[in-house]
């Protein structure tokens, strides 16, 4: 079970990186500014890994194909959720 969870997190992280490259056209490295730390591609990778971890714990797939499919889907979904969250914050700022 632990091997499946680790494998799932790796697949989810790779899907997160693929979503990052699709969105930005390149890999943006982490950097520190005066106000905050920008995580770059690590943000999407971590979000994809956590999403894949949660999906694995919740569903417990029976085969390796299901594990790969659900992990990749979770990694891509993590990127979509992050994009929607940012859009909602921007809309709140514009209304204020």
Residue 95 lies in a domain: no
Q: What is the mean pLDDT of residues 80-92?
A: 80
Residue 96 lies in a domain: no
Residue 58 lies in a domain: yes
Mean pLDDT score across all residues of the chain: 84
pTM of the shown model: 0.76
% of the chain beyond a pLDDT of 70? 99
Residue 68 lies in a domain: yes
Strands 37-38 and 31-32: antiparallel
Structural domain boundaries enclosing 49: 2-88
- What was the pLDDT predicted at 96? 65
Number of helices (H) and strands (E), helices first, in the chain?
3, 2
Q: What is the mean pLDDT of residues 39-53?
A: 86
Number of domains in the chain: 1
Residue 11 lies in a domain: yes
Residue 36 lies in a domain: yes
């Amino acid at each position: 079970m632990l091997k499946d969870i680790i494998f799932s997190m790796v697949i989810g992280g790779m899907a997160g990186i693929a979503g990052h490259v699709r969105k930005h056209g390149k890999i943006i490295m982490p950097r520190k500014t005066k106000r905050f730390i920008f995580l770059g591609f690590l943000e999407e990778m971590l979000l994809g890994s956590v999403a894949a971890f949660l999906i694995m714990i919740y569903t417990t797939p029976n085969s390796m194909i299901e594990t790969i499919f659900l992990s990749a889907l979770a990694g891509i979904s993590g990127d979509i959720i992050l994009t929607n969250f940012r859009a909602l914050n921007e809309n709140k700022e514009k209304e204020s």
